[in-house]
């Protein structure tokens, strides 16, 4: 089973700042990584898949990069509505599909 480790656990930034979230895989998953955003009481929302492809309707301030075992989600200029928990998920070797533990983004 591929383990995904996200860091940091919490990120506290001001509106307009840049957020950089990390996801590391226990073995290579090529480019088979997605990012989801989850707000309290809601289902997750797909943001990015295959490392860097934005899902339908996702603003351009969200971008992804990386390959192999190290991946990054960048929010170029934080908006208040970006306050959420962000999860990475791999499909490089499945089943099982696995998620990271999440990074909580707080807007000051």
Partner 1 sequence: QEQLVESGGGVVQPGGSLRLSCAASGFTFSSYAMFWVRQAPGKGLEWTAVISYDGSNKYYADSVKGRVTIFRDNAKNTLYLHMNRLTTEDTAVYFCARDLFDFRSGSLGYGYFDLWGQGSLVAVSS
One of 31, 55, 68, 72 touching partner 1 (CB under 8 A): 55
* Binding status of residue 98 toward partner 1 by CB under 8 A: yes
Closest Cα to residue 71, out of 23, 1, 5?
23
Number of residues near partner 1 (by CB under 8 A): 23
Piece of the chain touching partner 1 by CB under 8 A; list 8-16, 17-25, 44-52, 62-70: 44-52
Which letter, b or e, does each residue of 72-106 get, where b requires 16 or more Cβ atoms within 10 Å of its Cβ?
bbebeebeeebbbbbbbbbbbbeeeebbbebbebe
29 part of the interface to partner 1, by CB under 8 A: no
CA 85 vs CA 6, 97, 101: distances in Å: 11, 19, 10
Shortest Å, Cβ 96 to partner 1: 5
Which DSSP letter does residue 6 get?
E
Quick check: 4 and 99 in contact, CB under 8 A? yes
Whose Cβ is closer to partner 1: residue 12's or residue 94's?
A: 94
Map the footprint of partner 1 across residues 66-95, applying CB under 8 A: 87, 89, 91, 94-95
Contact set with partner 1 (CB under 8 A): 32, 34, 36, 38, 43-46, 49, 55-56, 87, 89, 91, 94-102
């Amino acid at each position: 089973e591929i383990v995904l480790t996200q860091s940091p656990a919490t990120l506290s930034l001001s509106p307009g700042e840049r957020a950089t979230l990390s996801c590391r895989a226990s073995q290579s998953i090529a480019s088979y990584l997605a990012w989801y955003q989850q707000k309290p009481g809601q289902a997750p929302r797909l943001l990015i898949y295959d490392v860097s492809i934005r899902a339908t309707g996702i603003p351009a301030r969200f971008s992804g990069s990386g390959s192999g075992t190290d991946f990054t989600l960048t929010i170029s200029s934080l908006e208040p509505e970006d306050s959420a928990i962000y999860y990475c998920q791999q499909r490089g070797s499945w089943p099982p599909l696995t998620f990271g533990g999440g990074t909580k983004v707080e807007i000051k």
